[in-house]
Structure 1
Amino acid sequence: MATSPPFTLDQGTALSLAVAFSLMPSAQILAAKALKPSVPRKYYLLFLWHAYDFLTHFIIEGSYLYHCFFSYVEVPVSPSHSQYEGTVEQQAYLFNRPDRRYGALYSQAPMARLWQEYAKADRRWQGADLTVISLEILTVGLGGPAAVYVCYLIAKVVNSDDQAVKARSQSRLWFVAVMLATAELYGGFITFAPEWLSGNTALAGEDPVYLWLYLVFFNMLWVFIPLWILFVAYQEISGTFSLAYAQKAAQKSK
């Protein structure tokens, strides 16, 4: 496993944690603005999670992509680099620029400081890891808009008095929610499976804060809650089919 300095709650760390923990109150404010006060608890929790989801994707993970693409330092190219060109041993660099190192590590911006802090637990996030970047492009570019759309559909279901609108919005809601939850689970596995297979070479879990807060808590949210969404979606879909078959059976018996 990787090693990092012990956790220290300095000003930069406090600011980074404040940004991360401010997103849930922000999601609650959005829910209060977008939903009726009498919203069923299931839909309220679904809205709350997906609002938190798209805020995280756009603000936090979006900043990661920004620094991967635009924050860099120039470095000298080793003379030995050329001997590997065209071979499987050649290291893959972002934009095929071995003379540059990209990532949040090379910026002093506030959101870069957040990623520098998280990288103490998983050092892949301090630079431009190509696998992580590829996943985050999908997460920010597709997962974020999908979460926004789910919130929009929940508001339609909860706030509309038109039954046709409710029915149409519900069918779309559960379709998109299932796709997004499945993608979140898949993305989490692809993020951490390479580390498990390599013996956790980039993870630093010797400090309990890095292990339980940064690695476990912040990442397991995207395991347990998508699993809950899939369970609720299964109940909704199976209940709808059971009701449809019961209505057909009642019609035939007349």
Structure 2
Amino acid sequence: MGPAQDIFGQLWKEYAKSDSRYLVSDSFVVSIETITVLLWGPLCLYMAYLTTFNHSLKHPLRIIICMAHLYGDTLYYATSLYDHYVNGIPHSRPEVLYFWVYYFLMNFVWIVVPAYLLYNSVSLISQAMTRFDEEARAKKIQ
């Protein structure tokens, strides 16, 4: 993306100021972004479709996707922090815009939103299973 002059190339280079791994084809970033594009992206679209029609499979699929996003973002932060504190290689510029807005805040959204959706789906499934168990017990008593 380095020599790219189109809008996407320029956006990519701007974001790379907050995480230089995006300009050097870091193996972790390439791997996680490839998995996101090829697997999690299409599954998110499918989950949106299921949500539109209120299909019951949306909750199990949402749990899988949310866990994947939480895991991926945790690794994203962890590998960067490891490089910074253990190897002495900072990947982000220290300015507020690049570190706190681009690097931290824009990626933290991928923790907050999936965590909320995960909690919501787990709660709903738990409530449904509690109700199912109560009905099953009531049928046994009769």
TM-score norm. by structure 1 comes to: 0.52
Check if 1:152 corresponds to 2:40.
Answer: no
- Counterpart in 2 of 1:251? 139
Q: Please give the alpha-carbon distance, in whole angstroms, between the structure 2 residues aligned to 1:227 and 1:240.
A: 20
CA contact (8 A) 2:83 2:90 kept: no
Indicate the SS of the match to 2:18.
Answer: coil
* Structure 2 equivalent of residue 239 of structure 1: 127
Q: Does 1:130 align with 2:15?
A: no
Aligned ranges for residues 113-192 of structure 1 at < 5 Å? 113-157=10-54, 169-170=55-56, 172-192=57-77
Does the residue aligned with 1:203 lie in a helix, a strand or coil?
coil
> What's the secondary structure of 1:146's corresponding residue?
helix
User: Following TM superposition, by how much is the alpha carbon of 1:205 offset from its aligned partner in structure 2, in angstroms?
Assistant: 4.4
RMSD: 1.4
Per the alignment, in what secondary structure is the counterpart of residue 106 of structure 1? coil
> Which residue pairs with 1:197 in the alignment?
82
Paired residue type of 2:58: L
Q: Structure 1: which amino acid aligns with 2:121?
A: A
More helix by share: 2
Residues in 2 aligned to 1:134 and 1:238: alpha-carbon distance in whole angstroms: 34
Larger radius of gyration: 1
* 2:106 equivalent to 1:215: no
Structure 1 outlier segments of 4+, above 3 Å? none
**Number of equivalenced pairs:** 139
* Cα shift at 1:238: 0.7
Deviation at 1:252, TM superposition (A): 2.5
CA positional deviation for 1:197: 1.3
